[in-house]
């Protein structure tokens, strides 16, 4: 990663922060984008400095401006990791979050990918795009139609982009994490516990019974897979969705 300019969205906490820390350790020059600027600033401080910009990826004009500013600060982009997203359930009727979830996770990611594409380092050297999807792109979960649909849509987006950008030597791939030890995951465990009237500890145990390896992953696990996808060792891997979920989904 030495001296490669990599943009990471959603880098303030959880998986995105772990990705930023790993890529910085591997020598990348980073631009970090997310809604929460305070959390981004903490990530940047931990890695010894990075370009930081608050960003709601649903706003196309602000997405364009943020990627342009990142390229101006750190030079053309070698790789983009699309990690920003919104989770949680949605229900029909007043307050249905379906459109918010799709607008953030699918449309927002698409806007970021196109903005990154406009500022990529010129070829013919390889460039990379990695999209963080979810196991919910693979399996049904009642009450999560918006999240599932948006994350499944990302896999179609990745495949089509991989075919579209292959002639320019841009590899495009997705990762589908399962349960990962993040605030978002524990919020999900809490909602499960509340819905069926059990403790969070019991809900966690119930969830882990569906995972053959029996435990949540760590954010650093996903960061390691991102690092591999951006490395020379992954040459020729494009249009793929890597299922990193402890065996909870096996294709």
Catalytic residue numbers, as ranges: 147
On whether the CB atoms of residues 110 and 60 are closer than 8 A, the answer is: no
Q: Say which residue the tokens 């772990």 belong to.
A: 18
Q: Report d(CA 114, CA 161) in Å as an integer.
A: 10
* End-to-end alpha carbon distance in the chain: 31
Quote the DSSP letter at residue 48. Answer: T
Q: Report d(CA 232, CA 24) in Å as an integer.
A: 17
Structure tokens at 156: 């179609």
Q: In sequence order, which residues have a C-beta less than 8 Å from that of residue 150 and are 6 or more positions away?
A: 85, 101, 102, 104, 105, 106
On whether the CB atoms of residues 226 and 30 are closer than 8 A, the answer is: no
């Amino acid at each position: 990663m030495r001296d490669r300019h990599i943009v990471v969205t959603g880098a303030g906490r959880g998986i995105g922060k772990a990705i930023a820390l790993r890529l910085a350790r591997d020598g990348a020059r980073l631009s970090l984008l997310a809604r929460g600027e305070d959390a981004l600033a903490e990530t940047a401080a931990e890695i010894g400095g990075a370009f930081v910009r608050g960003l709601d990826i649903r706003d196309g004009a602000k997405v364009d401006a943020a990627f342009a500013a990142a390229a101006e600060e750190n030079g053309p982009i070698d790789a983009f990791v699309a990690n920003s997203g919104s989770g949680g359930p949605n229900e029909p009727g007043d307050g249905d979050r379906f459109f918010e979830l799709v607008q953030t996770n699918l449309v927002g990611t698409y806007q970021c990918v196109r903005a990154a594409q406009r500022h990529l380092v010129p070829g013919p050297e390889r460039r990379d795009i990695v999209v963080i999807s979810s196991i919910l792109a693979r399996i049904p979960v009642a009450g999560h139609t918006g999240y599932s649909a948006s994350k499944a849509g990302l896999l179609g987006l990745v495949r089509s982009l991989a075919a579209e950008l292959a002639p320019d030597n841009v590899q495009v791939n997705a990762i589908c994490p399962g349960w990962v030890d993040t605030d978002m995951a524990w919020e999900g465990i809490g909602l499960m516990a509340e819905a069926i009237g059990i403790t969070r500890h019991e809900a966690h145990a119930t969830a882990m019974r569906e995972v053959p390896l029996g435990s949540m992953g760590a954010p650093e696990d996903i960061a390691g897979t991102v690092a591999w996808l951006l490395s020379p060792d992954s040459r020729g891997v494009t249009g793929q969705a890597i299922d990193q979920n402890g065996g909870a989904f096996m294709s």
